[in-house]
Amino acid sequence: MYIFCMHNSFIFKKGFFTILKNNKEIKIVSNKSLFFNIHNNAFEQLLSISEIPEVISPILAMPDIHVGFGVPIGSVFATDSKKGIISSDAVGYDINCGIRLIKTNLNIKDISKQNLQLLSKELKNLPLGLSNEGIKITNQDYNLILTTGANWCVSKKYCSKSDLRHMYNNGFFKNAIVSKISKEALKRGKLQVGTLGQGNHFIDVLSVDSIFNLEVANYFGLEKGQLVILMHSGSRGLGHQIASDYYKLLKKTHGLGYSLISSKVGSDYYKAMLAAANFAFVNRTVLTYKIQEAFNKVLGLTSRIKFSLLYDLTHNLATIEKHFNKEYLITRKGATRVFLPEDLSSKNPFKKTGAPIILPGSMLDYSYVLIPDKGVKETFMSVAHGSGRNISRTDAKKRISFKDLKILMEKNNIILENVSENLAREEQPAAYKNSIKVVNSMKTAKLVKKVARLKPVIVVIG
């Protein structure tokens, strides 16, 4: 069932569809095409957030909004940092699910089809899906991963110290406390450091297809034809179990499990969540190291491949931030925090441009590199995290066979590797909204500016 009556209650102005509910403004960043296809359940979930007394106005949704658990994916809301609420299902089951873009010094025109096929097979050998074949770590390592995040990776030479400056929050959250995590969650996570996960988690090799802002692209080290790597993963079984554990402890009301951030259970969840966030930074960093090994094994025989991290950003978190000279706890479910140049220190590598925004498309659609525009001040410095699902996993699977999916990808000169045929069908291109519509919706609302467009070459689905 889709909304055909409620949309008439919304007012469209400057890229936002707005309505007042429970004396709180609800704002959806969207164009008309995307707006009229928002599922009824996603609307209901978004509107229900306004019923929570501690949530302040405005409540926001991005153009990739779709049905989630408790709240829609693509939603953002704020509460007071000391008197507000925190919710495990509003953060999500994949805490600090995030994406990173790794640049190479390779150009698509210099890589043969045969070598691309070999590279895809090598990438498929990585620990994908629900693999428990992560790197071997000691209990001491594990504790440091959970409390120091990507700093542990520097000490173990999985990345350089300078890489930390290219990660959201420098790849580390303080105040994480391991004792707030259950034994079952710890057990699940210990075997999964450097593993991809399944569902919408992926490793993509893409080429820079178009440059929209030459000055910023040059500053980012991007040029046409360049091969880059997008990788999407999170906190794996650790984050999922933490969310499950605390959901059972949080009070349930207004369709959401939550508690005051000042309560014991709320405070405990926050500290466990930060530990899972640290784990996710490490997971993506270690997996990047393994991806680079795969590249070197296949393509590094004739020339030295150079890799550099453009940026690593996160999608599912609740973080304490300052907006409008006040401190808030901002919960983002499938949404990304951004930084304008004036928000960054003089030593930050993105001081001239603002921090990069990486927006992935579907396995067939373009992905984008963007920078923030001034309008993000109206969204608690938030933008969309991707294209967002257009149809459910069940419907996506019904609409295409795996054989037809392979033919479609081959027709478009994209190599598809997957663990499960059913999961690949669930992630088929038609499952996602058109990425340019999502980007242009944010551009109209003055949230983003386009820098570059990326075309998929190899798609590896977890």
Do 234 and 283 touch, CB atoms closer than 8 A? yes
Residue 433's φ and ψ, nearest 5 degrees, are -70, 160
- Rounded Cα–Cα distance for residues 399 and 404 (Å): 10
Pick from 439, 445, 459: nearest CA to 210? 439
Neighbours of 8 (CB within 10 A): 8
Q: How far is CA 453 from the centre of its chain?
A: 18
User: Omega before 58 cis (within 30°)?
Assistant: yes
DSSP secondary structure string, 33-99? HHHTT-BHHHHHHHHHHTTSTTBPSPEEEEEEEE--SSS-EEEEEEEETTTSEE-HHHH-SSTT-EE
Element (H, E) at 143: helix 139-148
Query: Does 315 qualify as catalytic in the annotation?
Result: no
Count how many residues are written for the chain.
Answer: 462
Which of 66, 166, 240, 385 is labelled catalytic?
385
Q: How far is CA 305 from the centre of its chain?
A: 27
Which residues are catalytic, by number?
385
